[in-house]
Amino acid sequence: MLLPPQIENEYLQHKPPLYDDERYEIGKRMISTVILCVFLIPYVTCDVMKKYKVFQNRRNKAAKAQQQEKKAVNVDTKVEKRKGKGKKNAKSNGKNTKGKEEEEEEAAATTIQEEEEEEVPEEEKVYLPWYAMPFLNTVAFLSIVMLSLTTSNNSYASRGIFQTPIFTQDECTRLIKAALQTASRNAASLTDVEKRQAQNKGILEGWHSSRHNKYPTTDLSVIDDAFTMEDRLLVEEKLNDRLVPIVERLYGVVPKALHCSDLFIVRYDANDSSLGQTSLDAHTDSSDISFNILLGSAPSDNAINFEGGGTRFYNRAKAKQVYIDIQPPIGNAIIHTGAILHEGLPITSGTRYILVGFLQFQRTNQISGQYTGLSPFASLLSVDWLSLRSLRVVSFGAEKFTIVGNLLRYWNDVYAPHFHVRLVEQGRMASSKEYREEFLKILDGAAQKAREQLERLKAFKSKQSKKKVDDEDDSVSIWFGKNDPRKVKKMEEEEKKRGNTVNYANSEF
């Protein structure tokens, strides 16, 4: 689902590229380049060489010399054969005169010469120099590489840091309350020994600090921790309706190709740094797209009661001397590729909560195994996509691919420095709460309309086939995989109709 026309025309102050049109044009250029270098240039070159005898004299002279030597050998062989035959006939007839032998030898040579004169000379062959085809193949390959680097997936999407509203103030407050309640449930399930161990390690009760090994965060997993089904439904619905269309528009990736590998709420606490974290060191993410949404602080006060924080984005080619600091308003998301070097700035007072998600581009669906429709321009021809896959090969023992992945990421910082874009006019957004809510309502309305159209289409197909048609994608969630809250809710409603009380909230399907 793309962005509604009203959003494109009235709200977006920055227009992303039209990926379909661009990919069509670049695809035509790539095909033309291959045809030109592999077929057309060699054919025309051979035709010119044949006409003007360029680059072929040496090879043709050598070929002619070989032909002449071969003919000379053939002549001698034929003469010897004829002489032998003449001698044999002479012996049989009792005649062996010298004059007769000379006559027979001259007759044989004359006959062979007449046969050679009757032969039609072959047309001279035209040969390209040995280095011509390797050179043309290299030119074709480099041309395709250069065309790939000029695509928006490499020069725009992979380098952009995009900021846009996703949640309302009330939704942010609800998610913070849900996180605190989930942490309380986690803490209640701990034994006294586990609680003492958590305190000794400086871990907040009910929160995790070891989910990410290299760059640990104080967090709760929305996927794995004990969030309620209603909380998960809220997250899934709002991210599907608001974030997914924006990601599709910014990166040219169809929703079916998106898969969330991690979704968690991070807590930054400046009041007691021994029981939490105040910042996060510079790092890159093992994701194609990363996003973080500022939820704010404790739900007791809607105002921002923390200071500091934000995200700093570095350019590795400038040795961290060039960077961009972003401190978004509550409810706003920062969306970027995981390859951009970034860090969480320290919070100086209060408590700060953010929702963080890692999205992966998948060529085949992990559950159904079907092709997702991911464009090659967003995968095989994308520097970020290749660098991330190169780094993942390291886990299988191929350490040398670490160098390849890091070089590709460093190349991106040199080739196309990152930039910051506010998709929606920030002045009006900050000064008018109604303006932001209207923007989100339009996105929600477009998503609801798309769902209604899908339901009507399914009903029509069911009526035509006289069988119930299920949408395969309904059972696969971008955010929760098989544990789709929509599926869970539907199953619970069906059980309630039968008079059964069942809780599928933490079940796997």
Output the six-digit token pair for 64.
């002619």
Residue among 344, 341, 300 at smallest CA distance from 326: 344
Contact status, residue 360 vs residue 287, Cβ threshold 8 Å = yes
Per DSSP (E only), the strands in 271-428 are: 280-283, 289-296, 307-308, 311-314, 323-326, 332-336, 342-344, 347-349, 351-361, 419-422
Q: What is the 3-state secondary structure (H, E, C) of 160-224?
A: EEEEEECCCHHHHHHHHHHHHHHHHHHHHCCCHHHHHHHHHCCCCCCCECCCCCCCCCCEEECCC
In this structure, which amino acid lies at residue 101?
Answer: E
Per-residue pLDDT of the chain (509 residues), as tens digits, is: 578 888 888 888 888 999 999 999 999 999 999 999 888 888 888 777 766 665 555 555 556 666 666 666 665 665 565 555 555 555 555 544 545 555 555 655 565 555 554 444 445 556 677 788 889 889 999 999 889 888 999 889 989 999 999 999 999 999 999 999 999 998 888 888 777 777 766 667 789 888 888 898 999 999 989 899 899 999 999 999 999 999 999 999 999 999 999 999 999 988 655 567 889 999 999 899 999 999 998 766 555 678 899 999 998 877 677 889 999 999 999 999 998 999 999 998 888 999 999 999 998 887 777 888 999 999 988 888 888 888 776 554 445 556 777 777 777 788 778 899 999 876 555 556 778 889 999 999 999 998 888 888 878 777 777 555 554 444 578 998 777 766 666 666 666 666 666 555 555 43
The one-character DSSP state at 476 is -
Determine the distance from the C-alpha atom of residue 193 to the mean position of all C-alpha atoms in its chain, rounded to a whole number: 45
Mind giving me the DSSP string for 232-261?
HHHHHHHIIIIIHHHHHHHH---GGGEEEE
Q: What is the 3-state secondary structure (H, E, C) of 96-157?
A: CCHHHHHHHHHHHHHHHHHHHHHCCCCCCCCCCCCCHHHHHHHHHHHHHHHHHHCCHHHHHH
Burial of residue 342 (CB within 10 Å: 0-12, 13-18, 19+) is buried
Compute the distance between CA of residue 88 and CA of residue 475 in angstroms, rounded to an integer.
96
pLDDT value, residue 66? 67
CB burial of 264-276 (b: ≥16 within 10 Å; e: otherwise) equals bbbbbbbeeeebb
Compute the distance between CA of residue 117 and CA of residue 504 in angstroms, rounded to an integer.
96
CB-based contacts of 168, cutoff 8 Å, min separation 6: 331, 436, 437, 440
pLDDT value, residue 470? 52
Residue among 171, 173, 174, 205 at smallest CA distance from 187: 205
In this structure, which amino acid lies at residue 201?
Answer: K
Phi, psi at 462, each rounded to 5°: -65, -40
Q: In angstroms, what CA-CA distances link 272 with 202, 205, 276, 310? A: 10, 13, 7, 19
In sign, the C-alpha dihedral spanning 368, 374, 376, 380 is: negative
Compute the distance between CA of residue 192 and CA of residue 198 in angstroms, rounded to an integer.
10
Residue count of the chain, please give it.
Answer: 509
Q: In angstroms, what CA-CA distances link 253 with 7, 448, 479? A: 19, 21, 16
pLDDT value, residue 472? 46
Compute the distance between CA of residue 148 and CA of residue 134 in angstroms, rounded to an integer.
21
- Domains of the chain and CATH, by start: 32-143 (no CATH), 158-453 (2.60.120.620)
Q: In angstroms, what CA-CA distances link 252 with 1, 121, 418, 505? A: 11, 61, 18, 33
Mind giving me the DSSP string for 31-51?
HHHHHIIIIIHHHHHHHHHHH
Contact status, residue 277 vs residue 269, Cβ threshold 8 Å = yes
Compute the distance between CA of residue 329 and CA of residue 293 in angstroms, rounded to an integer.
9
Phi-psi region of 313 (alpha: psi -120 to 50; beta: other; left: phi over 0): beta
Compute the distance between CA of residue 125 and CA of residue 123 in angstroms, rounded to an integer.
6
pLDDT value, residue 75? 56
Q: In angstroms, what CA-CA distances link 292 with 172, 243, 265, 310? A: 12, 11, 9, 10
Global confidence as pTM: 0.80
Q: Which residues pair with 324 in a beta bridge?
A: 313
Compute the distance between CA of residue 446 and CA of residue 241 in angstroms, rounded to an integer.
8
Output the six-digit token pair for 363.
């060529």
